[in-house]
Structure 1
Amino acid sequence: MSLSDRRRQAQAPNFSATEFRIALGMFATGVTIVTARTLDGALVGLTANSFNSVSLDPPLVLWSLARAAASLPAFSTGSHYAINILSAQQKALAQQFAARDVDRFANVEFVPGVSGAPLLVGAAATFECFNRSRYEEGDHVIFVGEVERCSHRAGASPLLFHGGKFYTEHPL
């Protein structure tokens, strides 16, 4: 194999899955809850920190979901979803929506967005998205949403996640 051929292919990793996860945890992220309403009216939602902006024109954002997630069919087939950026006071909500085998919407205050996706009361910001495209990569599906509406609470501090722990913002 020539040098130019080797440069066109990824080399085998020289680290374990655990090492990779720990290294990824060094990147501090915000915490979101992605929500939707299925065609039959059921509510779905999950905690995700894989949120990112993509484009200002058109307004696009992305997030990813494990292929093994029980909610994948709902998000893959639905036309809309909402991304709720959690405020520093919503740590318990992040944990509730990350838990398995619970009613994630139990005792949760929300209002329906224009498409019906739940907008969580108290969120630092919300994005109502059209489910524009999906890309299967590795063990996840990357969702690109076209933002139809967004809002934010002025002065709200975001909930942050780093190294497996929750944090609040502290300006330097």
Structure 2
Amino acid sequence: MTDSADHRALKKTLGRYPTGVTVVTARRGDGEPVGLTVNSFTSVSLDPPLILWCLGNESPSRPVFEQAGHFAVNILGAEQGWLSNRFAQPIDDKFAAVQWSEGAHGVPIIEGSVARLVCRLHDRQPGGDHVILLGRVEDYQNPGGEPLVYLGGEYQSLRDG
């Protein structure tokens, strides 16, 4: 695969697999909250409790997440598409007008998310044009609700169809 048409076709093919939508958050060294929308999130192991997610090599947030000792995975609810869109944008204060609180180790927790995991950075590995971040789950909450799902380039409901 060498041209942009191949990349678009592969992206469309991969888009046939439904994913949940998360906002992964951490704190910069100066204490400012940082977050971005991620759908490349999955569980890895229950013993020890490990998850992984992927971050683009060119992401301006990459140094923050590689240096942060802890991060949170906020699994968004079905009505939180606006949050997914907000944290996917390159804007200065993504947390403005967002309800959040401080979780374990000071990581930002998005209010209304259907599940939250606070993780210690366990490992990172190169993965092509991304870095694979492995987190060890140290704390979690499961308030419940319908998750936000992404399929075929748009948000979907599990109740559809």
User: Is this a same-fold pair by TM over 0.5?
Assistant: yes
Task: After TM superposition, list the pairs within 5 Å mapping 1:23-172 onto structure 2.
Answer: 23-154=13-144, 156-170=145-159
Cα RMSD after superposing both structures? 1.6
Runs (4+) of structure 1 moved beyond 6 Å? 12-15
Return the index of the structure with the highest Cα Rg. Answer: 1
* Cα 1:115/1:163, change in 2 over 3 Å: same
Using the alignment, how far apart are the partners of 2:31 and 2:158 within structure 1? 36
Amino acid at match of 2:55: L
Amino acid at match of 1:92: W
Amino acid at match of 2:148: L
* Cα 1:70/1:13, change in 2 over 3 Å: closer
1:106 is paired with a residue whose SS is coil
2:52 is paired with a residue whose SS is strand
**Deviation at 1:153?**
1.4
1:136 is paired with a residue whose SS is strand
Using the alignment, how far apart are the partners of 1:130 and 1:73 within structure 2? 15
Post-superposition Cα deviations, 1:49-97, rounded to whole Å, max 9, x if no partner, equal 0000000001000000000000000001110000000001111000000
Amino acid at match of 2:115: A
1:76 is paired with a residue whose SS is helix
The count of corresponding residues between Structure 1 and Structure 2 is 160
1:40 is paired with a residue whose SS is coil
Question: Mind listing any 5+ residue stretches in structure 1 that lack a counterpart?
Answer: 1-11
* Cα 1:122/1:116, change in 2 over 3 Å: same
Question: Mind listing any 5+ residue stretches in structure 2 that lack a counterpart?
Answer: none
Q: 1:22 aligns with which of 3, 7, 12?
A: 12
Using the alignment, how far apart are the partners of 1:101 and 1:29 within structure 2? 24
**Deviation at 1:13?**
7.7
1:21 is paired with a residue whose SS is helix
